[in-house]
Amino acid sequence: MSTTRGLEGIVATTSSVSSIIDNVLTYQGYEIDDLAEHASFEEVVFLLWNGRLPKESELENLKAQLAEHSDIPSEIIEQMKSYPLNSIHPMAALRTAISSLGLYDAEADVMEEEANQLKAIKLQAKIPTIVTTFSRLREGKEPVSPRKDLGFAANFLYMLTGEEPEEISVNAFNKALVLHADHELNASTFTARVCVATLSDVYSGITAAIGALKGPLHGGANEAVMKMLNEIGSVENVEPYIRKAIDNKEKIMGFGHRVYKNGDPRAKHLKEMSKKLTEITGESKWYEMSVKIDELFTSEKGILPNVDFYSASVYHSLGIDHDLFTPIFAVSRTSGWLAHILEQYSNNRLIRPRAEYNGPGKQVYIPLEKR
């Protein structure tokens, strides 16, 4: 047996959900550049789950279903009120609340295809409400109920603030959701597939995936980028900060990728959005600092920014709390996780690789009193 650290380069499944070939990312054959430019998040959800773009009536139907299921059980709100609201990370709250949500779905363990499709709708519809409810509760405010007449992106921003968002914010947020929706066999998606391949339920799969996304080497990096930008504080401080980090062999968050060695195709869209939004907020420094970090780190190390790097200044410009960046990633990626979960069920086999043993040789048991 031979091993590959971190399963690098190992092809672990076939999938038609998304692909990364020659640095080009596609969802069901549609290039990300095209989708980022033209598609609504709801269209992308339909695409990922059905393998084709929706017709107008199909899109309306999906939107209506998402709106219909967007309220969360009052028990979940009550439970959230009992969380230690001001000391926990919203990703921990989200992981717990999604797991609890399964308790209130009488069909959680029903394995028929139709039941699983309905669970997918419910989860996609409710995850924004959970994230925004948590955010409101910890601010000591009443949760804002979802508005059935707003689209997915607008409704999220509305539930967060209680105010109808401006079109420019909705468009930017929609594009960010589209860009984060799926990404082949990334760590959290693989986690979801491993979980449901035991024929465990959809809620377990999404809960497991949230746990994997939370880490700073994966989805948690977007919040870590904003922390770094805050620490640096000004464009002048970029160079000494980054040079010191390079000398100390520290990681620069938001850079590097297991698959993309020539750059993440999503980053340019977020960079452009960061430029526009920071100009509007009058806080161009976040964009300028990001560009300077990018130029310096790329030229010194040849390591390029990933999706998490410029998304930090984008979300900050939308007025979103920094520790909600990763939950927002989860709101979008739930669509991809669900597509992969449904695909896994449709052609399932238990996922169970091997480990090469490197522990001690044969040992003889020594009774406790003689050790």
Ligand X SMILES: O=C([O-])CC(=O)C(=O)O
Tokens of 220: 């948690």
CB of 16 to ligand ACO, least distance (A): 21
CB of 129 to ligand X, least distance (A): 23
Binding partner at 29 among ligand ACO, ligand X, none, C-beta below 5 to 8 Å by kind: none
Q: Does 258 bind ligand X (CB under 6 A)?
A: yes
317 versus 326: smaller Cβ distance to ligand X:
326
7 versus 88: smaller Cβ distance to ligand X:
7
Q: Is 308 a catalytic residue?
A: yes
Pairwise CA distance, residues 336 & 82, whole Å: 31
Pairwise CA distance, residues 206 & 340, whole Å: 11
**Which amino acid belongs to residue 175?**
K
Binding partner at 6 among ligand ACO, ligand X, none, C-beta below 5 to 8 Å by kind: ligand ACO
Q: Does 186 bind ligand X (CB under 6 A)?
A: yes
Active-site pick, 105, 201, 294, 308: 308
Binding partner at 351 among ligand X, ligand ACO, none, C-beta below 5 to 8 Å by kind: none
CB of 162 to ligand ACO, least distance (A): 30
Active-site pick, 69, 180, 257, 340: 257
> From the CB of residue 263, how many other CB atoms can be counted at a distance below 10 Å?
15
158 versus 325: smaller Cβ distance to ligand ACO:
325
17 versus 307: smaller Cβ distance to ligand X:
307
**Which amino acid belongs to residue 5?**
R
Contact residues: ligand ACO, CB under 6 A: 6, 217-219, 221, 251-258, 303, 306-308
59 versus 303: smaller Cβ distance to ligand ACO:
303
Tokens of 266: 């999503």
Q: Does 26 bind ligand X (CB under 6 A)?
A: no
Do 313 and 290 touch, CB atoms closer than 8 A? yes
Do 46 and 30 touch, CB atoms closer than 8 A? no
Q: Is 109 a catalytic residue?
A: no
CB of 260 to ligand X, least distance (A): 8
Segment near ligand X (CB under 6 A), from 59-67, 125-133, 257-265, 269-277?
A: 257-265
**Alpha-carbon separation of residue 65 from 62, 110, 173, 245, 331 (angstroms):** 5, 20, 21, 48, 17
Contact set for ligand X, span 307-326 (CB under 6 A):
307
**What distance, in Å, lies between the first and last C-alpha atoms of the chain?**
34
Of the residues 69, 122, 126, 183, which one makes contact with ligand X according to CB under 6 A: 183
List alpha helices for the chain, DSSP H. Answer: 32-38, 41-50, 56-68, 74-81, 90-101, 113-138, 152-161, 167-180, 187-196, 202-213, 221-232, 238-247, 267-281, 285-301, 307-317, 325-346
Residue with tokens 């002048």: 236
List of residues contacting ligand X (CB under 6 A): 183, 186, 257-259, 306-307
**Which residues are catalytic, by number?**
257, 308
